[in-house]
Amino acid sequence: MNPSRRNFLKKSAIAASAISSLSVVPENVWSSEFAPSDKVNVALIGCRNMGFGILRHHLDTGMVNCLALCDVDKNILNERAQTVKNDYGQESQLYSDYRKLLERIDIDAVIIGTPDHWHCLIMVEAAQAGKDVYVEKPMANTIGECNIMVKAAKRYNRVVQVGQQQRDNKVFKDVMGLIKSGEIGTLRKVNIWANFNYGLGSTPKPDSPVPEGVDYDFWLGPAPKRPFNENRFHGSWRHFWDYGGGLMSDWGVHLLDMGIWAKDLTEGPETVITYAENLSRKTMHRDSFDTMNVIFPKKDYVINWDMTAGIQQGPFDSSYGVQFIGEKATIVADRYKYHLSPEWDGAKDAPKAEEVSYTKGHESHRQHVDNFLECIKTREKTSCPPEVGRAAALHAHIPNIAARVGQPVLEWDDEQSRFTNCEKANELITPEYRKPWKLPEV
C-alpha cells in the first residue's frame, strides 16, 4: 500500500469506511422539513421496548408519519400513544390485532418489535399486504421461519431491513474496510465473546393471573399454550425456546454477523461444534444455557464464540467484542471503538502494518433506520436484507439446536436446509404453530 494512503487511514480511518460496499445515509438528509405527501406512513407492531426505540428513530428523521400503534398490552399501547403525541405531535390509531392494522392501504411500512416467535407471521402478512418491513433481530425464532421470510421478501418484492444495526455502524464499517483492503493480511480467525448478567435468566416466580389490560392468549399466538408467568413475559421472554434463543440469539446474532460479514457470507454454517451447559450455581428460570463455546470452521478461516452469562467481564476489559486475527495485524472492536495492532516483521525490523485506532463510535440504530427509509424511496436492497438476517440467525440457532438435542457436532446442508447427521435436530428446524395460527406459506 502506498505511504500516502496508509497515512490517511492512520489519521482518520475514513478511507476504510469508503472501502465498504455499504453506505450510511447522513442524518442531515432527513433533518429538513418534508411535505406530508413526501413522508413515509409507518406503523409499529409491538410497542414496549426495542420496537418503540426504533419508531423514535424513524420519527426523529422528520420524514415519517406514525399512523398506527399495535400491542396486546393496552397499558403499554396507551402510554406509547401519549408519548408519540407529546413528543412528536402525532395522533396514532390504536390496535390490539395487527391484522386489522395491515388492512389499511395508507400504511407504507411496518416496524415489527414483537417477541421473536411473532416475527415471521407478521412479516409475511405485511409483505402480502404490500408493506415494507423493518423487523427486529433475530429475523425469526427458527430456521424454517427465516427461510419463509426470505422467500416472502422476494415474492412480494418488498424492502426489508433486519434490525442488525451494526451493519451501519462506523466502527464495523471501518473494520470491514481494513480487512477487505488487506490491511491485516489474510484473515485466519475471528474470536467473539459476550458476557452479560441478564443472560442467566430470571429468579423463579410462581405462575400468576394475567395482568389487567393484557391479551395473553394473543401474546402467545402460535407458541404453545402455557399458564401466565411473569418470567415468560415482558423483558425476560427471550430465555425460553417458545419465544427466543437466550443470549445466543440476542447478542450472538449481532456479533456473529460481524464474523460472517468479514467474508461476505450469506449462508448457514456447514459445520458447528458446540459446548453448552448451565454452570452457574444459581437456580434460575430459563430454557437457554448460561455457558457456551462454539466453533464455526469456515473454508479459509474459523469463527470462535465464547459466552458466559452472569458475569460482566471479558477480554480486553470489555464484556463483549470481536477480535479479527490476520497474518499482518489483529483488530479488536466493539460498537464504540477499534484498534489495529500490527505484527512485527523481524526481517525488516518494522511493523507489518500501520497501527490504527478509533474511539468515537456510537450506537447506529438511527443510521440503520436512515438506510431503511432511503431504500423505501429507491427500492434498493437494505444494508441488512433477509438473506443476511437469515445467515446470522442460523449461526445462532444451530448451536442452540445442537445443545438442545445433545449433538456436539452438527453438519448443515444450506441448499437443502437440513442437518445431514442428526434427524432429531431436523425436528427443530420448523415450528408447529398452535391452532388457529398457521405457519405462513409462500
| Cβ atoms < 10 Å from Cβ of 352 | 16
Residues 6+ apart with CB under 8 A from 23: none
Decide: helix, strand or coil at residue 280: coil
Is there a contact between 239 and 286 (Cβ–Cβ < 8 Å)? yes
Strand order through the sheet with 409-413: 356-358, 338-342, 329-333, 320-326, 187-194, 302-308, 291-297, 271-277, 409-413, 418-419
Let me know how many helices (H) and strands (E) the chain has, helices first. Answer: 13, 18
- Per DSSP (E only), the strands in 5-86 are 40-45, 64-70
Amino acid at 116: D
Backbone angles phi, psi at 263, to 5 degrees: -120, 15
Is 80 exceeded by the pLDDT of residue 129? Answer: yes
Residues 361-379: tens digit of each pLDDT = 999 999 999 999 999 999 9
Return the CA Rg of the chain: 22
Q: What is the CATH number of domain 174-362+386-426?
A: 3.30.360.10
> Parallel, antiparallel, or unpaired for β 320-326 and 329-333?
antiparallel
Cell of 314: 471479558
The pLDDT value given to residue 281: 87
> Parallel, antiparallel, or unpaired for β 291-297 and 160-162?
unpaired
Q: CA-to-CA distance for 331 and 312, rounded, in angstroms?
A: 22
Is there a contact between 297 and 152 (Cβ–Cβ < 8 Å)? no
| Cβ atoms < 10 Å from Cβ of 329 | 23
Is 70 exceeded by the pLDDT of residue 285? Answer: yes
Counting every residue, how long is the chain?
Answer: 442
Query: pLDDT band at residue 14, thresholds of 50, 70 and 90?
Result: very low
Query: pLDDT band at residue 4, thresholds of 50, 70 and 90?
Result: very low
Sole residue written with cell 398506527 = 68
DSSP states of 137-166: SSS-SSHHHHHHHHHHHHHTT--EEES-GG
The pLDDT value given to residue 224: 98
Residues 19-33: tens digit of each pLDDT = 333 333 444 444 445
What rounded mean pLDDT belongs to the chain?
93
Share of the chain above pLDDT 90, in %: 91
Q: CA-to-CA distance for 311 and 296, rounded, in angstroms?
A: 24
The pLDDT value given to residue 6: 38
Domain ranges of the chain: 21-166, 174-362+386-426
Residues 237-284: tens digit of each pLDDT = 999 999 999 999 999 999 999 999 999 999 999 999 999 999 998 999
Is there a contact between 260 and 192 (Cβ–Cβ < 8 Å)? no
Q: What is the CATH number of domain 21-166?
A: 3.40.50.720
